[in-house]
Amino acid sequence: MVSLVGRDEQIRRALELLGTLPVGRPAVLVIEGPAGSGRSRLLAEIAVRARDRGWRTVGEIGWITADRARRLLQRARRDPGPLLLTCDHPHRIGAGTWPALDRLAQSVPVLVTVTGRIETDPLAADHLLGGETHHIHLPPLTGAEVAALVAAALGGRPAEDVLQLCRVAAGRPGALADLLDGLREEGLVRAADGRLSLVATRLPRRTESRLHRQVALLSPSARHLVQAATTLRGRFPLARLARLMRSGLVSLLPALDEAIAAGLLDGDTDLLAFRHELVRAAVEATMPRPVVAALRSEQPRTGTRRPHPPAAPTRRGGSRDLAVLSVREREIAELAGQALTNQQIAGRLNRSPHTVNYHLRQIFRKLGISSRVELAGLTGRGHAGTRPGDA
């Protein structure tokens, strides 16, 4: 089983919920995160910790149908005790299951814990009569946590080339474990004096296949975006990609958010880039060669320059009326006025920090302001702090 690294806070929150759940009010805990973020692994760990605390745990086979839920109800009447019901496939839960769980929760504490993608809410709170829904989001692992997981899996301190290749996994422990298994199976990593380094800088076949599946699962607009981006080397501004695709910036944002959420593009700064040059190559391999050649021909030849776009209007002519903002811009302005960072706003709205940063720049331009302090004054929120990298 994959070492559980970097999830202490999420486990703490789950155990805190177990310790405060009353009788008479069933609750749902949704473990949210993108594919490869370790949702199933955390679900299993919470079940282990719950059993250690005297909870009876039941996997999805034992309760997701109405008949099985009614049997649980009968058993609880004979042998009462808190129940943790786990499910890795919430779409399989029958509608008739919920009334039985509501009756069950009248006599014992009941916590239904499921996994779900960040883009969707797999369960509606009104499925449970008087119940409540809690969410635990799984963020990407930090650099230190990635290094710790690599050391635990491969038995050595990772060198810089190994850590750079691990960026392919986008900080997702499941994707990282898959990458490390592939490196070991294909002999692409070696250990010397307790230090790990690459034998060859290439992706294991299983990781290449995973990236190809990710591209295939994207919406057509997001797939076209990442495929077009393969012609842009290094880091590049969104405006350059928009020119290549002959599209407006705002119309590209949903596709960009999807590509970043899939872990293909890195959008943590003002510039975009593939997570690794080998990710770019894997995306390029999903296209026919004539398409690749045609996309490359769209790029300016060496020594030529494209005309500069018109200069943006100065801020002096902006309006101080929030009515000039779109609905989404007003929403972001309110959150920024509450001193939330771009990362926090992105988490609230299920958008990338890159998209939030873009909208904030548009907000500043329209309002004729240049700082979050001014924005906080306009929204009536008082002082708003900033962090490096925030607009």
Q: What percent of the chain has a predicted confidence (pLDDT) above 70?
A: 86
Q: Are 11 and 45 in contact (CB under 8 A)?
A: yes
Least confident of 12-21, 134-143, 374-383: 374-383
pLDDT of residue 250: 86
Token pair belonging to 190: 């070696």
**Position 368, amino acid:** G
Q: What is the mean pLDDT of residues 157-181?
A: 94
Name the phi and psi angles at 200, rounded to 5: -150, 145
What is the mean pLDDT of the segment spanning 239-256? 90
Say which range, 44-58, 179-193, 359-373, has the weakest mean pLDDT: 359-373
Model confidence over 186-219: pLDDT tens digits?
999 999 999 999 999 999 999 999 999 999 999 9
Q: Are 28 and 128 in contact (CB under 8 A)?
A: yes
Confidence of residue 313 (pLDDT cuts 50, 70, 90): very low
The model's confidence at residue 268, banded by pLDDT at 50, 70 and 90, is confident
Instruction: Copy the structure tokens of residue 5.
Output: 């690294």
pLDDT of 80 higher than 60: yes
Q: What is the DSSP letter of 311?
A: P
- As a residue count, the chain comes to 391
Q: Give 225's contacts (C-beta < 8 A, 6+ positions apart).
A: 241, 245, 252, 255, 256, 259
Of 31-40, 43-52, 157-166, least confident by mean pLDDT is 31-40
3-class DSSP state of 116: strand
**Mean pLDDT for the chain?**
84
Cβ–Cβ under 8 Å, residues 72 and 62: yes
26 CB burial (10 A radius; 0-12, 13-18, 19+): buried
Q: Which residue has the higher pLDDT, 347 or 182?
A: 182
Q: What is the pLDDT of residues 97-113, one digit of tens each?
A: 888 888 888 888 999 99
As a whole-number percent, the residues of the chain with pLDDT over 90 amount to 46
